Structure 1
C-alpha cells in the first residue's frame, strides 16, 4: 500500500469552483493555499466556471500569513464571499480565514510545499496551458497536478507539461457544490502513472469523503455527457409534447426517482450560463460523425432567450422560474415574459410511477396522454444514449450508473432501471422506436445489447461484475486498500452484494432493533423503526444490547446502516398509552428512556454512536449519552422538541446542565450561568448543527469525537474506536454531583425571555416552554452552586415534559406535526 500523503493542497483559481474546493479542504482539515491573479491583473483571466449540477458560486476571506497585501484582493474577496453562500460551502463560516490567499506574481514559491495542485481556472485551454508553463518550475518533485475542467481534453493539457510532471497529471472533476455533491470524476491521460491515480483516489475517497468514478478523456466525461444530453433531450421532448416547465419538473423530480428539483429548477440552480457552457463544450468538441445524437445538442430556444435577457437562474433571481413575493412564475417563450406557475402533473402518472419497473415502463409506453408519452420518451432516450456511448466514455456500465446517481441525484442509473424492468423486453421497445423514427437518433442499439453475455445474463450488472463493452466481459469493482474501510459500500442493482441487514451474526433481533456482530469482538445495535425513531421497545433493546456487550464483547456500536441516525423519540407510539392511562403512562415511558440513556453512559464497555444524517431530539440524546461519537461530516444534530411544544425529556437538559458545570470547572471564567446559557439557547431555540463541525460548536459533539468525511467508512471507524477504547482500558465515568445555577440563574434567563415575548419574537407558549427549560438546566428552586446529580435533574425534566404533554397548545403542535409533517407555531 502506498505511503503517499497529501499534507497540503494548492488550488489555482478563486472562482465558483476553486474557492469552494478550498472551503471543503478546510472542512476536512487539509491546509490549503488559494491562488488567483494579482489584483491589478484581474480583467485578464476570469476565475473558473462551475460544473454541472446543483448549485454554488464561490468566493471567500484570508489570513495574513501568506501575503494579505493588496495583490491578494481577488483571492481575499473570494474567501470572504464563501461566508455568504447558501448552502454554505463551509462547515463553520468563520473558518474561511483558514484558507491562505495567494497570487501568481508573489507566491509561486508556496507551491513547493504542496503535495497536490488543483487547477480550477476558466474553461479556456490557452489560459490553462499558459498557467501550467508558469507553475511548472515551482512544483514539488512528487506533487500531483490535476485540472478541475468540466470537459476539456485532459490529454491535450498534459502534453503541455514537462516530461517529469506529465506522469503526475490527470483530471479531477468535482461537482458543484463540492461540499455536498458526492461525485468526483478522475480522468487519466495516456501518460498518467497508475500509482498516482490510485494515490489521488485514496485521498479523494477517505479524506474528502467523495465517491470516485474513473472516466475516459472524452468531452464532458461521464456524468455531464449523459446528464446534459439527457437535459437537452428532455427539453426537446417538452417541445414535442407541449408541456409546461412546472408540469415537467413535477414529473421528473422525486416521482421519477431523480433530484427533487426536477429538470428546469435544477437548471436554474446550476446557472443557465453554466449549463450553456457545458452545452457549448458538446457542440464544439463533437460532430454528427462522433455523436449520432449531435442534432439534439442545439441550444434550446428558451435557454437562448433567457441568456439574452440576462436571466441566468437562481443567481440572478430569474431563469426558467422567477419568484415575485410569494408567487412563483414560469418563463413563457412566446411572450418572453413570466406567467403564474404551480401546475401539477395528472395524478394517474404518479400512480404509474409507483408500479414495479417492468409494469411502469409498459404503462408509460402505452399511455395515450402527453405526460405519459413524454415520460416514456425521456427514459427511452436515456437508455439509448447510454448504450450507444458506453464503450467510448466509461470502462463499465457500473461507472455510468454510479456517475448519474452521485452526480445527478438519481435513485437509479439508466442501466439499473433498464435491467430491473427486463433487459431484452425494454431493448426491443427502444429499438422499435428507433426503427419507427421516434427516437432522437437513428443509431441502432449496439449488438452487445441483444447478443452475448449481457443478453444471457439479463442485464449489465451481475455478481461477477459489470459489463465492459470493450473487453466483452463482466468486470469486478476496482478495489484499492482504502476501500476496505467501506464495510458496506454502495452497490448497483444485480451485483449480489450482501446488505448490512443480513450480514454478520445476529445475536438478537426483534421488530425494533437488530443486535449483531461482524467479528465477535464488538456488538452492533441497528435500529429498524421508521426514521429510526426511539420507542420504548428500542430503549429496551438497547438496554439488552448493553448487557450483552458487557458479558461477551469489547464494546457496543449504535449504527443503523443508513440515514437518519435517529429522527427522535417515537411520540406516536406513546399516544395510545397516554389516551388509555393518562399522563402517568408518559411519565413511566420518559423515565424508562432516561434510565436507558444513563445505562449507555455508565456501561462497563464503551458505547459508540455512529451518526449519519439526522440525530434530532431523542436521537441527539442517545448520541450525547454515548461514550464516544463517530460522525459523518454531513450530519445534523440538535434538541428540537420545542417544535412540537415539548422539552427534551430523555436526558438532554440534564446533559446541558452537567456539561456547563464541567466546562466551567476547566475554564478560567467560573461564571456557570454563561455556560448554562449557551446550552439553554441551543435547546430553547431548537438549534441544529448543520454539519458535524457546527454540532461540535453547539456542544453536542466533543473535541474527542471523530468526524468521518466518507459516510461509508462510518462503521469501520466506529468499530475501530470501540476496540481502541477497550484496549486502552476503558472505564465509565464515575457518578458525581455537580453545581447548578439555581433560582437566580433561572430569573436572569427569564428576564431575557420576557423581552423576547413582549417584543413579539416568541409566543406566550414559546415563553412558557422556554421557562420550563430554564428551570431544568438551572436546577430548579435551589441556591446557586447547589450540588445535584443526574437523577435529580431528570426528575425535573419529566415534570416539565408531562406538564406540557397535557397542555392544549402542545397537543395542537403534536397533532399538527403528525398530520402535516410541518411544525405548527401557536
Structure 2
C-alpha cells in the first residue's frame, strides 16, 4: 500500500467541532486551512477569525499552546476555494443538516485535488446519502469520519464507508488518523448514529427511564453511574449538560426519525423533562443551567416535580458503593438480588446495555470489539458492555437477562439472539477470545486489523478475554526488584519500567535505574525508560525516606539525595543513549529523571513540571541544576543576552510549580527540547523511543563531555529576591514561600558568586542538596508534607 502523504488538510466549517479539529491538526503539526462562509460585514474571514480566537479561551484547551492558533490558515469559500487543490484530506464539519452539506459538496467538488480524500464529520447522518450528490470521480474517495468532542482529548474516531468507498482509501485514512492524530479508530457501519452514539445515547435514555422508575435524583444517579461504575466522572445527567441538551435531543431525533422498526424504539422517546428544559432554553453548561446549575460555588440540581433547583450533593448508599467494589460476577449478583432501589437501578441499566448491544450487534458493528472500544474511547468507560458481561460470567448473565425479559422488566421484549446461548460464543464463554471477537454478521470470531500502522504498537490496548500480551510479563528480563523491572523486547534496546505506585522514585528505583544503565552499556544499544500506563513518574517517594528522616532529620536524608543526584548524572553521562518515554505525569523527580536523559519522546498528553514547592521543598534531584545549565546553554546561543533572562524563566516555572499541560507546552518551558519527539499515539511511544535509541546508536552517539558553565551569580539572586519581597509584602506569597523562592534562586543563579562564574553540575547539586535538607527540618515544610500525605492537597502556610 502506498503511503498516504498528508501535506495539508482543509476543514470546512468553523463551528465548535470544525475549529477544534483544526486545532488538533495544528497540535500534531499538520498544516490546516479552516474554511467557513464569508462574513456579511467586516473582513470576509470574520467567522473563522472569531472561531480561531475563541480556541484560546476554551477549557479544556483545544490547543497544546494557545499561540499556535496563529498556525491555522483562515479562509472563506468565496475567495479561497482554490486552496482546496493543495489539500490531501478535506474534512467537512458544518452543521448537521443534510441539505446544507449536499449544497456545500456541489460547490467544492470542482476544486478538489484528484487524489484527495473527502470525509464528512457527522454524528449520525447517512454517509451513503451524503455521497450521492458527489461526482462519480469523488465517490470512491469519500467516507464518514466522526470525531468525538473535544477532539484533542477524546480517543475515538469512527470511520464510516459507503458502498462506493475504495477499501484502500479507508486503510489510508485509518493509518493517518491512528499514527498522525493519535486516535483509536473504529470502523462503523452506516447506520443512524453509528456505534458509540447509538449505544451511548440509548444507554443514557435507558438510565433516565430507570432513574425515574426507581425514584432517584439526578445527583445520586450521577454518583452511581460515574467513577463508581467505571465510567466518566460526570456520570449521566452532568454528561448531558456538558454535551448540550439540544445536541442530545438532535441525536435522539436521529434515532426517532430513522429507526421506527427498532425493537427498542419506544425507549427512544424524548424524556419529558429534557423537552421542558430545551423549551425553557436551559441547554446545559453552555447556558448555565440544565439538569444542574451553578450559583456561586454551589451546585444545584433540578427537582422536576417542583420545576425548580434545589441543593445537590446526593450520593450512593454506602452498601451499594461496597457492592460496586466486588469482582464482576459477585457485583452483578449482589445488585440483582438486592432490595435497595439504587442497586436495582444499577442492575437494570447494566442489563439494558447488555440486552441492547446483543440485539443490535449484527446491525451496527463488525464485531463486539468495535462496540467495546467505541464505548471506552467515546464515552470514557473502563470496560465496554460485552467485556463486563463476559467478566461476570457469560451464561449466568444471559440467563438473568432472559428471566427479566420473560418477567417484562426489560425495555424491549426482544429475545436475545440465538448466538448468545448457542454455538461458539456460548461454548467459549464470551464474545472475546484469543482468536478474535465475535461478529454476529459473519457468524465467527474476527481478528484485529493487520494494517501496518498497528505493527508500531508493541502493546496495543486490548479487550478483556482477547489474551493480549502484558508488557510487564513480556520479553527477556535482565533485572527486577520490588519497584522496577529491567527487560528487553528485541535484544537490542533495554527497557526500564518503574512498577512502584505512581512510579515514585525510591532508593529501590534508583538502584534499578543504575543497574539498567550498567546492563545497557554492557549488552545493548541503549536504554528506554518506559511504563505501560499514564504515569512516567509522579516524583520522589518521600514516605520511603520517612524512617531515615525520623531517625536523623535532614542530615540523614542528604546521603540519599546525593545517591539520587548521582544517578541522574550517571544517566546523563551514560556510554549509551538513555531515552525517556514520557506519557502522562512526569512531576518533580519524574521531570528530573526525564531532563537528565539523552532524549525525550513524549505523548501529546504529557504533564511535566517541578512541583516540589507544593510540599514546601525545592527540587532535589538535579532539576534546578538543569535549569541553570540550560540557561547557560541558551545564553551561549544568544550573545549579548544576560544569563538571568533565561534563568528567570526556569526559576519562575519551579517557584510556581508550573506544570506543562501538554508536551508542546513542556517544550516551551524547556523540559522538552527542540530535538525531542512528540508522539500523537500513546501506544506508539515505546516503538518510537526504541527507534530513537537505535538511530542514536547507529549514528555514533556519545554522551556530552562534562564541562563547567557560567551562572548568573549573586547580583541576579538579589534581583529575583527584590521581586519576591514585593510579592510577599503585597500578600501574594507567604513568608515561607519567600524563603523557598530565595533558595530556588540561590541554586538557579549559582549561589554567592560573581556573575559569569564557571561552575559544575555537582556544585549546583550540592547547593540543591543543602537547601533541600534544610527545608526538611523546617516546621512549615513539615506541615506541608503532612498535609499532602493526609489530604492529597497542598497546604498554604
- 2: distance between equivalents of 1:70 and 1:365? 62
Please point out which of 640, 652, 663 is paired with 2:611: 640
Are the aligned partners of 1:401 and 1:413 in contact in 2 as well (CA < 8 Å)? yes
User: Is residue 684 from structure 1 mapped to residue 655 from structure 2 by the alignment?
Assistant: yes
Within 5 Å, give how 1:48-127 maps onto structure 2: 70-127=43-100
State the partner residue of 1:21: 21
User: Is residue 315 from structure 1 mapped to residue 286 from structure 2 by the alignment?
Assistant: yes
Please point out which of 152, 161, 184 is paired with 2:125: 152
Please list the CA deviations of residues 561-614 of structure 1 after superposition, one character each: whole Å capped at 9, or x if unmatched.
112000000011011111123222211111110000000000000000000000
User: Is residue 143 from structure 1 mapped to residue 116 from structure 2 by the alignment?
Assistant: yes
State the partner residue of 1:356: 327
- 2: distance between equivalents of 1:391 and 1:664? 64
- SS of the residue corresponding to residue 561 of structure 1 reads coil
Q: Report the Cα offset of residue 200 of structure 1.
A: 0.2
Moved more, 395-404 or 585-594: 585-594
- 1: distance between equivalents of 2:244 and 2:445? 38
State the partner residue of 2:102: 129
- 2: distance between equivalents of 1:785 and 1:466? 65
Q: Report the Cα offset of residue 821 of structure 1.
A: 1.2
Moved more, 663-672 or 390-399: 663-672
State the partner residue of 1:664: 635
Within 5 Å, give how 1:260-339 maps onto structure 2: 260-287=233-260, 289=261, 291-339=262-310
- 2: distance between equivalents of 1:486 and 1:585? 44
**Length, aligned pairs only:** 797
Are the aligned partners of 1:305 and 1:336 in contact in 2 as well (CA < 8 Å)? no
State the partner residue of 2:678: 707
Please list the CA deviations of residues 224-277 of structure 1 after superposition, one character each: whole Å capped at 9, or x if unmatched.
000000000000001000000111111101110000111111111111111111
State the partner residue of 2:156: 183
- 2: distance between equivalents of 1:163 and 1:463? 41
Are the aligned partners of 1:512 and 1:527 in contact in 2 as well (CA < 8 Å)? yes
Please list the CA deviations of residues 677-714 of structure 1 after superposition, one character each: whole Å capped at 9, or x if unmatched.
00000000001110000000001000010000000000
Q: Report the Cα offset of residue 670 of structure 1.
A: 2.2
- SS of the residue corresponding to residue 74 of structure 2 reads strand
Are the aligned partners of 2:619 and 2:772 in contact in 1 as well (CA < 8 Å)? yes
Please point out which of 423, 432, 437 is paired with 1:452: 423
- 2: distance between equivalents of 1:786 and 1:33? 50
State the partner residue of 2:706: 735
Please point out which of 591, 598, 602 is paired with 1:620: 591
Please point out which of 524, 539, 542 is paired with 2:510: 539
Are the aligned partners of 2:171 and 2:451 in contact in 1 as well (CA < 8 Å)? yes
Within 5 Å, give how 1:802-813 maps onto structure 2: 802-813=773-784
Are the aligned partners of 2:223 and 2:316 in contact in 1 as well (CA < 8 Å)? yes
Within 5 Å, give how 1:184-203 maps onto structure 2: 184-203=157-176
Moved more, 661-670 or 205-214: 661-670
User: Is residue 527 from structure 1 mapped to residue 476 from structure 2 by the alignment?
Assistant: no
Within 5 Å, give how 1:712-727 maps onto structure 2: 712-727=683-698
State the partner residue of 1:818: 789
Within 5 Å, give how 1:503-522 maps onto structure 2: 503-522=474-493
State the partner residue of 1:783: 754
Give the RMSD, CA atoms, in angstroms: 0.8
- 2: distance between equivalents of 1:517 and 1:302? 57
Are the aligned partners of 2:602 and 2:663 in contact in 1 as well (CA < 8 Å)? yes
User: Is residue 3 from structure 1 mapped to residue 29 from structure 2 by the alignment?
Assistant: no
- 1: distance between equivalents of 2:770 and 2:742? 13
Gaps of 5+ in 1: 42-68
User: Is residue 673 from structure 1 mapped to residue 641 from structure 2 by the alignment?
Assistant: no
- 1: distance between equivalents of 2:250 and 2:567? 56
- SS of the residue corresponding to residue 71 of structure 1 reads coil
Within 5 Å, give how 1:724-763 maps onto structure 2: 724-763=695-734
User: Is residue 381 from structure 1 mapped to residue 322 from structure 2 by the alignment?
Assistant: no
Please point out which of 557, 574, 577 is paired with 1:606: 577
Please point out which of 205, 209, 214 is paired with 2:187: 214
State the partner residue of 1:585: 556
- SS of the residue corresponding to residue 551 of structure 1 reads helix
State the partner residue of 1:49: none
Please list the CA deviations of residues 354-403 of structure 1 after superposition, one character each: whole Å capped at 9, or x if unmatched.
11101000000001011000000000000000000000000000000000
State the partner residue of 1:695: 666
- SS of the residue corresponding to residue 131 of structure 2 reads helix
- 1: distance between equivalents of 2:294 and 2:142? 44
Please point out which of 345, 348, 351 is paired with 2:316: 345
Are the aligned partners of 2:553 and 2:776 in contact in 1 as well (CA < 8 Å)? no
- 1: distance between equivalents of 2:489 and 2:743? 44
Q: Report the Cα offset of residue 669 of structure 1.
A: 4.0
Q: Report the Cα offset of residue 305 of structure 1.
A: 1.8
Q: Report the Cα offset of residue 12 of structure 1.
A: 0.4
- SS of the residue corresponding to residue 44 of structure 2 reads helix
Please list the CA deviations of residues 660-685 of structure 1 after superposition, one character each: whole Å capped at 9, or x if unmatched.
00000001342111111000000000
Q: Report the Cα offset of residue 137 of structure 1.
A: 0.6
Please list the CA deviations of residues 45-100 of structure 1 after superposition, one character each: whole Å capped at 9, or x if unmatched.
xxxxxxxxxxxxxxxxxxxxxxxx81111111111110000000001101101111
Are the aligned partners of 2:481 and 2:508 in contact in 1 as well (CA < 8 Å)? no
Are the aligned partners of 2:4 and 2:176 in contact in 1 as well (CA < 8 Å)? no
Are the aligned partners of 1:305 and 1:333 in contact in 2 as well (CA < 8 Å)? no
Moved more, 384-393 or 306-315: 306-315
- SS of the residue corresponding to residue 630 of structure 1 reads strand
State the partner residue of 1:551: 522
User: Is residue 405 from structure 1 mapped to residue 353 from structure 2 by the alignment?
Assistant: no
Please list the CA deviations of residues 706-729 of structure 1 after superposition, one character each: whole Å capped at 9, or x if unmatched.
000000000000000001001100
- 2: distance between equivalents of 1:153 and 1:269? 25
- SS of the residue corresponding to residue 90 of structure 1 reads coil
Are the aligned partners of 1:35 and 1:103 in contact in 2 as well (CA < 8 Å)? yes
TM-score (norm 1): 0.96
Are the aligned partners of 1:209 and 1:709 in contact in 2 as well (CA < 8 Å)? yes
Moved more, 816-825 or 399-408: 816-825
Please list the CA deviations of residues 301-353 of structure 1 after superposition, one character each: whole Å capped at 9, or x if unmatched.
22112112211111122111111111110011122211000011101111101
Q: Report the Cα offset of residue 18 of structure 1.
A: 0.2
TM-score (norm 2): 0.99
User: Is residue 258 from structure 1 mapped to residue 228 from structure 2 by the alignment?
Assistant: no
- SS of the residue corresponding to residue 674 of structure 1 reads helix
- 1: distance between equivalents of 2:639 and 2:553? 48
Please list the CA deviations of residues 620-642 of structure 1 after superposition, one character each: whole Å capped at 9, or x if unmatched.
00000000000000000000000
State the partner residue of 1:38: 38
Moved more, 267-276 or 126-135: 267-276
Moved more, 306-315 or 616-625: 306-315
- SS of the residue corresponding to residue 689 of structure 1 reads coil
Please list the CA deviations of residues 105-157 of structure 1 after superposition, one character each: whole Å capped at 9, or x if unmatched.
11111100000000000111011101000000110000000000100000001
- SS of the residue corresponding to residue 281 of structure 1 reads helix
